[in-house]
């Protein structure tokens, strides 16, 4: 039996609100409260990777355990693109030219070579 620790006050199903888009097709609109809870869970001590795809209003995210894993994932995403399985069970490949940016956040991120933006 699965124990639910964070019950959504919005009454969503599996983190979203289903709505019909076709005769036999359904989409899932993400619940903002559940998304914020998931981000809090992911950001405890992990490195969170956010992938921004051109033309999408939001971003995809997941977490890895170490900085080395985060750097490796970021490099692969930037060079090869981003693969994911959508809610219909389809493997989707976002090519590198579709990506707007990739952001890694987590504890103890620093650089020996800080840069600054100079407007011309």
Cα 93 from chain centroid (whole Å): 15
Indicate whether 34 belongs to any domain. yes
Boundaries of domain holding 56: 16-105
Number of domains in the chain: 1
Asked whether residue 55 is assigned to any structural domain, the reply reads yes
Among 25-39, 56-70, 90-104, the range scoring the smallest mean pLDDT is: 25-39
Whether 11 is in a domain gets the answer no
Residue 112, in any domain of the structure:
no
How many CA atoms does the CB half-sphere of 63 hold within 13 Å?
Answer: 15
- Confidence grade of residue 88 (pLDDT, cut at 50, 70, 90): confident
Nearest to residue 49, comparing CAs of 110, 102, 109? 102
- Asked whether residue 3 carries a pLDDT value surpassing 60, the answer given is no
Q: What would the pLDDT profile of 5-43 be if each residue is shown by its tens digit?
A: 445 666 666 666 667 777 777 776 777 777 776 666 655
Does residue 45 sit within a domain?
Answer: yes
Task: Give yes or no for a contact between 8 and 34, defined as CB atoms under 8 angstroms apart.
Answer: yes
- In the prediction, which pLDDT does 13 show? 63
């Amino acid at each position: 039996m699965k124990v639910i620790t964070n019950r959504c006050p919005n009454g969503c199903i599996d983190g979203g609100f289903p709505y019909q888009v076709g005769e036999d097709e359904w989409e899932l609109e993400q619940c903002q409260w559940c998304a914020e809870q998931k981000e809090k869970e992911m950001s405890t001590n992990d490195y969170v990777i956010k992938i921004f795809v051109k033309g999408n209003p939001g971003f995809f995210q997941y977490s890895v355990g170490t900085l080395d894993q985060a750097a490796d994932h970021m490099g692969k995403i930037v060079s090869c693109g981003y693969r994911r399985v959508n809610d219909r069970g389809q493997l989707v490949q976002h090519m590198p030219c579709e990506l707007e940016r990739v952001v890694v956040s987590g504890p103890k991120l620093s650089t020996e070579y800080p840069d600054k933006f100079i407007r011309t």
